[in-house]
């Protein structure tokens, strides 16, 4: 039998994943984001810019605003989420974050979050969410698998 705090920690971790999936990414000042790619055959970036804010080792850092009602009144609460791109296999793209993985095909309708051995959670794909922006970068060729040659980056990022 698991101690009661283990269940609480698992619940908190699951809520954190759902919150990260629902955060709205911060876009460039002009409000533009990359167009949605319809094909994964071309691995060169299909957009002029990526959505990630910075890199931290093998991870890509995305920043978004907390969904309404989760922050305190006042200015928006910013949240950061780190994703490591694990690659594409048979049309399925996989990202790792917070010790879990998420997968999606391109085009994507539903993101599957693999939270533990026996738990999968499915959330609707939203390109304007933080996890959606990360998958869009993967689809557009902006992310690289750790240890592999990088994708071409027209802006030198």
Q: What is the 3-state secondary structure (H, E, C) of 42-98?
A: CCCCCCCCCCCCEEECCEEEEEEECCCCCCCCCCCCEEEEEEEEEEEECCEEEEEEC
Can you tell me the distance from the alpha carbon of 52 to that of 83, in angstroms, rounded to the nearest whole number? Answer: 9
**CB of 59 within 8 A of CB of 83?**
yes
Give me the domain span that covers residue 58: 4-139
Number of domains in the chain: 1
pLDDT per position as a tens digit, 71-95: 566 677 778 999 999 999 999 999 9
**CB of 83 within 8 A of CB of 94?**
no
pLDDT per position as a tens digit, 97-122: 999 999 999 999 999 999 888 889 99
Tell me the whole-structure pTM to 2 decimals.
0.64
Residue 150 lies in a domain: no
Kindly give, in sequence order, each residue whose CB lies less than 8 Å from that of residue 45, ignoring residues fewer than 6 positions away.
140, 141, 142, 151, 152, 153, 154
pLDDT per position as a tens digit, 3-62: 443 333 333 344 344 444 444 444 433 343 333 333 333 445 556 789 999 999 999 999
Residue 156 lies in a domain: no
Residue 32 lies in a domain: yes
């Amino acid at each position: 039998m698991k101690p009661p705090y283990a269940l609480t920690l698992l619940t908190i971790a699951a809520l954190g994943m759902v919150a990260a999936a629902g955060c709205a990414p911060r876009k460039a000042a002009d409000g533009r984001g990359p167009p949605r790619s319809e094909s994964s055959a071309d691995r060169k970036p299909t957009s002029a810019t990526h959505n990630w804010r910075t890199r931290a080792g093998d991870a890509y850092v995305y920043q978004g605003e907390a969904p309404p009602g989760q922050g305190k009144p006042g200015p928006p609460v910013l949240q950061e989420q780190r994703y490591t791109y694990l690659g594409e296999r048979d049309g399925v793209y996989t990202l790792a974050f917070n010790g879990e993985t998420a997968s999606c095909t391109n085009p994507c309708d539903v993101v599957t979050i693999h939270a533990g051995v026996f738990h999968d959670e499915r959330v609707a794909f939203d390109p304007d969410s933080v996890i959606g922006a990360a998958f869009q970068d993967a689809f557009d060729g902006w992310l690289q698998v750790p240890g592999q040659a990088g994708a071409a980056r027209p802006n030198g990022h």
